[in-house]
Amino acid sequence: MKRNKHSNPMEYRIIYRAGMSIMRSKQYYNVFHSSEALADIYHTFHAGKIHSKSITIYKIQEWDRFNEKWVDRLEKAIETIDRERLDHGEIVPILSRLNQSKKIILKMKGGKK
């Protein structure tokens, strides 16, 4: 995966919904690849820093500073994430029936909040 990384950190935005919340939330990461942003939110969630029993990740986007727009990188993040570092369970992408887009649902294991 090292050859796929940028030489400098890029800005990534993850759009997700915590539990049954009506509002979507955003978290920003400066990392070398979208899979690192996905791994960061995965570990943040399982460390209890996002106060919910589940989160649904809708988008992982990379800021394209030359075109000044956000570019979707969700599928690339799913393809290239280091699955050996996922110690709380597998990341399973779900295909939405409504608009045929992918999303990721993370659930807390055990009795934790």
Task: Give this prediction's pTM.
Answer: 0.81
Identify whether 112 is part of a domain.
no
| Residues 19-32: tens digit of each pLDDT | 999 999 999 999 99
Following DSSP, what letter does each residue of 21-33 receive, concatenated? -SS-EEEEEEESS
Q: Which domain holds residue 62?
A: 2-107
> Domain count of the chain?
1
DSSP per position, the chain: -GGGS-SS-EEEEEEEEETT-SS-EEEEEEESSHHHHHHHHHHHHHTT-S-SSEEEEEEEEEEETTTTEEEE-HHHHHHH--GGG-TT----EEE-TTT--EEEEEE--TT--
Residue stretches of the chain with pLDDT short of 70: 1-6, 82-100, 110-113
Tell me the average pLDDT of the chain.
Answer: 82
Q: Does a structural domain hold residue 53?
A: yes
The reply to whether 37 falls in a domain is yes
Is residue 59 included in any domain, yes or no? Answer: yes
The answer to whether residue 80 is domain-embedded is: yes
